[in-house]
Structures are given as structure tokens and as C-alpha cells.
């Protein structure tokens, strides 16, 4: 074989192996989240410290919302402005804990309609911002349940 052919083959091998390594790290972050059906769900308003258990209808609404919003969650790359305005906690069918922090506009205006969660304790935190339409079901769970919006200090 000629030197030029070996050089091209070596270059292609280097480029393709680099691409394979990059995709092996990027691909897990692009997979949809697998939300399990939750039970024993509580909702805590961080502003007031009030906690309430969601009833069966509200838990069903949350499970339906989670099943419809599995894609486009990105890894959390910067620190959140706070622990969240509302925290939803529940149990997976296997007994594992589920937690999702929600920002509704009280603690960080640029984080309005944003959620952070992970599917299990070993997974990385994932973040997603939602439109008002997509956020409506979660807002329904929060509003009118002892949650008072405050103005910016």
C-alpha cells in the first residue's frame, strides 16, 4: 500500500474513533426519561413549608403528565437559583424515591415553569422548561392549595 492510502486510513480511523467516543458519552443524555407510576405523592410548598398528600385523582394527573413529558430533558449544567418553589415527592413501584423540584416564578423569574428531577438516585439531574400550556396541569396541583405568590423583594 502507498503511504498516502495508509495516511488516509489512519486519519479516518482517528476521526471515527473520536466520534464514537463522543457519542458514547452524549447518547445517554439524549434518551427519554423513564418515569414510573408514582404513589404516596406529597407536594411541599417551600415558601411556607406546607406539605400535603395528593389524592388519587391528583396523583393520576401527575402520572399522566409525567408520561407525556419524557423527552427533551437536558442535564443540569449550572446550579439552580434555589431548592425550588415546590417539591413533589413520591414512591416508585419498586419502593424507590422520586423527587421533582418546580420553579413557579417566586425564587427565580428566569426559571419560571422549570422542573428538575432524576429518574433514580444514581442518575444525573435533568432540567426542562415548559410552556404555559404544558405547565397547566402542574399549576393546577399547586394553585389554590396554600400557595401564595409573592412579589420580588
3-state class (DSSP) for residue 42: strand
Are 72 and 128 spatial neighbours (Cβ–Cβ below 8 Å)? yes
pLDDT of 148 above 80: no
pLDDT band of residue 10 (cuts 50, 70, 90) is: very high
Q: What is the mean pLDDT of residues 7-16?
A: 94
- Return the pLDDT at 149: 52
pLDDT of 65 above 90: yes
Q: What is the mean pLDDT of residues 68-97?
A: 86
Measure the CA–CA gap between 19 and 48, rounded to whole angstroms.
49
Strands 126-129 and 74-75, how do they pair? antiparallel
pLDDT of 89 above 90: yes
Q: Which residues contact 98 (CB under 8 A, 6 or more apart)?
A: 36, 38, 88, 89, 90, 91, 92, 117
Give the distance, in angstroms, between the CA of residue 88 and the centroid of all CA atoms in the same chain: 12
Are 90 and 119 spatial neighbours (Cβ–Cβ below 8 Å)? no
- Return the pLDDT at 66: 93
Least confident of 21-30, 60-69, 104-113: 104-113
Measure the CA–CA gap between 129 and 126, rounded to whole angstroms.
11
Which has more pLDDT, 152 or 141? 141
- Return the pLDDT at 108: 54
- Return the pLDDT at 36: 87
pLDDT of 47 above 70: yes
User: Three cell numbers at 97?
Assistant: 424515591
User: Three cell numbers at 101?
Assistant: 423540584
pLDDT band of residue 153 (cuts 50, 70, 90) is: very low
pLDDT tens across 92-133, in order?
Answer: 888 888 999 998 876 556 788 899 998 777 778 889 999 989
Amino acid at each position: 500500500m502507498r503511504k498516502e492510502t495508509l495516511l488516509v486510513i489512519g486519519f479516518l480511523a482517528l476521526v471515527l474513533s473520536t466520534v464514537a467516543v463522543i457519542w458514547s458519552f452524549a447518547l445517554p443524555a439524549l434518551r427519554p426519561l423513564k418515569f414510573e407510576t408514582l404513589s404516596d405523592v406529597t407536594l411541599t410548598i417551600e415558601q411556607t413549608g406546607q406539605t400535603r398528600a395528593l389524592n388519587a385523582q391528583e396523583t393520576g394527573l401527575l402520572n399522566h403528565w409525567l408520561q407525556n413529558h419524557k423527552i427533551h430533558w437536558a442535564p443540569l449544567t449550572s446550579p439552580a437559583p434555589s431548592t425550588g418553589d415546590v417539591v413533589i415527592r413520591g414512591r416508585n413501584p419498586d419502593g424507590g424515591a422520586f423527587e421533582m423540584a418546580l420553579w413557579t416564578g417566586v425564587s427565580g423569574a428566569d426559571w419560571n415553569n422549570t422542573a428538575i428531577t432524576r429518574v433514580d438516585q444514581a442518575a444525573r439531574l435533568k432540567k426542562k422548561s415548559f410552556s404555559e400550556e404544558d405547565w397547566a396541569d402542574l399549576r393546577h396541583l399547586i394553585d389554590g392549595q396554600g400557595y401564595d405568590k409573592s412579589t420580588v423583594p
